[in-house]
Amino acid sequence: MHKAGKTSTKNSIGTVLSLECNAGFQLNIKGENATAKCIRGYWKPETPKCVSAPCLVPFVENGKYYKVEPHTIELSDKPSLTPLSTYEEIQSNEFITLECEEGFKIQGAGQLRCGHGSWSVNAFSKCVSIACTLPNIPGLIYEGGYREGLTIGHDSSVNARCNYSTNTLPIEMTCNKGILKPQNIQCESGIRKYREEIAHISLPLDDSKESFNVMNILDASNMDESSNITEDQNITEESKMCGSPSLTDGALVYKNGDIDVDGVYESGTEIYFNCIPSASGERNTWKIICEHGKWIGRSYNCANGTCLFKNNEPNVVSFYNDLEIREDVVEFPPGATITSRCTDIGKFELIGSIERTCIHSEWTGTKPQCFGLNQENDYAMEKAPTILFRRQNGPIAQSNDGKLIVYPGTTLHMECLWMRRFGNPKWSVSHDYKNYSEGWVTEEGRDATLEYRLTIVDAQTDDSGIYSCETPARHKHSVEVLVKSINCPEIPTRRGLIVSTNETKLSARVLLSCSNGNSLIGSSELFCLPSGNWSSPLPVCESVECGDIPLSNNITSPRVAVLSREVGGRASFSCQSGYGLRGPSESICMPSGEWATPFPTCVEVQCENPGAPLNGYAQGTTPYRAGDVVQFNCNPEYMMQGQPIIACQDNGRWSGGLPKCVQACSYPGTAISGHMSSVQFYYAIGESITFTCDAGLELRGPKMVKCLKNGKWSGAIPQCIALD
């Protein structure tokens, strides 16, 4: 086997050759092994060569790439353009051009040239929608924060309404291929309505000397002052005046710095919304400006109330005060700040705000979302690459704000996932501290066709930076690495507290327990977080006793016998006669100082009617309660097998089973002056008895009789007669 580097000019038969090509080139031999073997003086399957690597047609939305053939005269000559599929291979020195769908235009270079596996541009072009500019129509107000001069994209819409119209239904304006429809909107003048219909505003004024809490500033210099009114519209200066703005609870209105209660405002008037002081105590100013008959800006809720946080976004984990939020819905106080990141910063990309603060009952920023990268999408080439993290000789952890914290001295492997047959991805680093080794993994157990690795050996502070992996399809994923010595405070010695380790390094896990049978109050394990704090407060060991068991005093409550009140101690339960226990027969004293539940109850015991044996009958009265008995009897000519009397027990079961009445022979009587082998009321089928006579007498008749199956004796009773 000849590896990368110089090879001999001649190779013996049977030699297997493996070549590694430089960047921008690839081996002409396909397959996983990519080797050539010398057979009878020829290389098989073919002579290995490094040829220019092809480029992959990039993915683009709302457009399509075409191959530019050598005979093409103009790019608009579409019959000579060959349509291409996404990720189709284009050979070196070939050109492709981008054509956007109707209603979209090219942003960036429209033509690309392939040069040794890379396109000739730093960033791919996009097909962006042709925008429409919102016009200045007198009396028309755009909703959703829009105003004249702003633009909306193709196939987008915005709602608007006439300020002085009695029709409250909005007008939907849609942009189609750069044309805004409807084009002609007429709104009536507001002069008459200002004079006749706008009510005088009466606002309650606070007589207290408290200062006022106010909101964010909108810079009037950023507002559009380019609106002009043509003469043919015959609009007077009075039509440029604004009606009363929408107010929120707790707001006072100022006109150019003075309190004002007028209902009509001239163009250029600035109104400040000053809110009553709240818990946060912040003092900011926020203003709106009357500009050509309408207000620029919007008013917020002045009350600095709580914010509701819904923890329902998949693959997003959020933190408050360095603790993970695990509840589904949480209400946070004003001023609270939550930090969010993806559950795995290498497998997901976060879109939105990392930090959000509760201000005036609203969260600042944008709700974060985490989207899966190529591993989560079956290694789709239009997705950014997943980055896997592996470490040696030290710990790593994800910080609350989505950084990868690496302890100094740790060796970090970052593996960019990309299918090798489509080319090599590229690693880039935000600093030039040193060059890092990178390449396809080679060790056993790793996937050399998928994992392209960059390694930081013996990480130091200067290795901190942003590490990015870009695929040949120009999709990139970045991870910010922070090399920092994170150590949590040493755990102080506490009486009776047993600590599994004195390690305080990042990600250290400490198990805690108590000696002498004491109870652990707090968490039984601690983790050293990336913030340098332990995951929970340090627990304490205390001697805990359980109090009395809280049971009501009635006939259904069991009797309690406490054997021990210490942790692990037991209390047993019992019921009075006639009642049975339903539930556990004992309770254990828990480390919390409370008895384990549930507690049992006492219920009246009743046994089911046992019935009567066949050819017999039972003596007893229903219902049968604990302690009641039933006596069984058999009919004449039948004898009993089993217990003649059973009792109803406290557990609701009978002390014995139902007896049987079987056919038998009754007592046959005895010979005068004679004797029988056994004397009893009944004899079982097949049982025999023998007779004898006194001295001087002679037995006349059968000496033995047997009980037959029909319940009759086999013969008559013999007689004892004197000898002649």
pLDDT in tens, 568-581: 889 999 988 788 88
* 230 pLDDT higher than 50: no
The pLDDT confidence band at residue 397, using thresholds 50, 70 and 90, is very high
Share of the chain above pLDDT 90, in %: 32
Decide if pLDDT at 259 tops 60.
Answer: no
Mean pLDDT of 611-632: 90
Judged against a pLDDT cut of 60, whether residue 202 lies above it is answered with no
The Cα 140–Cα 293 span in angstroms is 9
Q: 3-state DSSP call for residue 79?
A: helix
Residue 502 has pLDDT above 80, yes or no: yes
pLDDT of 279 above 80: no
- 164-168 contacts, C-beta under 8 A, 24 or more apart: 164/139, 164/188, 164/189, 164/190, 164/193
| H runs (alpha helix) in 137-205 | 191-196
Q: What pLDDT score was predicted for residue 421?
A: 87
Per-residue confidence (pLDDT) for residue 570, from 0 to 100: 92
Segment 227-239 mean pLDDT: 44
Q: Tell me which residue of 58, 123, 51, 122 sits closest to 91, measured CA to CA.
A: 51
Look up tokens 């979302």; give the residue: 369
User: Which of 61-65, 162-166, 699-703 is least confident?
Assistant: 162-166
User: What band does 261 get if pLDDT is binned at 50, 70 and 90?
Assistant: very low
SS3 528: strand
pTM (two decimals):
0.47
Averaged pLDDT for residues 596-601:
92
pLDDT of residue 381: 85
Amino acid at 684: A
Look at 40 and 667; give whichever has higher pLDDT. 667
**Which residues on adjacent β-strands are paired with residue 98?**
65
4-40 tens-digit pLDDT = 444 445 777 777 777 778 777 888 777 656 777 787 7
Domains of the chain: 15-52 (no CATH), 55-129 (2.10.70.10), 132-181 (2.10.70), 387-483 (2.60.40.10), 497-542 (2.10.70.10), 559-604 (2.10.70.10), 606-664 (2.10.70.10), 665-722 (2.10.70.10)
Question: For the purposes of burial, counting CB atoms within 10 Å of the CB of 309, is it exposed (0-12), middle (13-18) or buried (19 or more)?
Answer: buried
Cβ atoms of 574 and 559 closer than 8 Å: yes
282-338 per-position pLDDT tens digit:
444 456 777 777 777 654 555 567 899 999 999 999 999 999 999 999 999 988 999
The string of DSSP codes covering 655-708 is: SS---EEEEEEEP----TTEEES---SEEETT-EEEEEE-TTEEEES-SEEEB-
> Which stretch, 30-44, 63-77, 654-668, has highest mean pLDDT?
654-668
The whole-number average pLDDT for the span 90-102 is 87
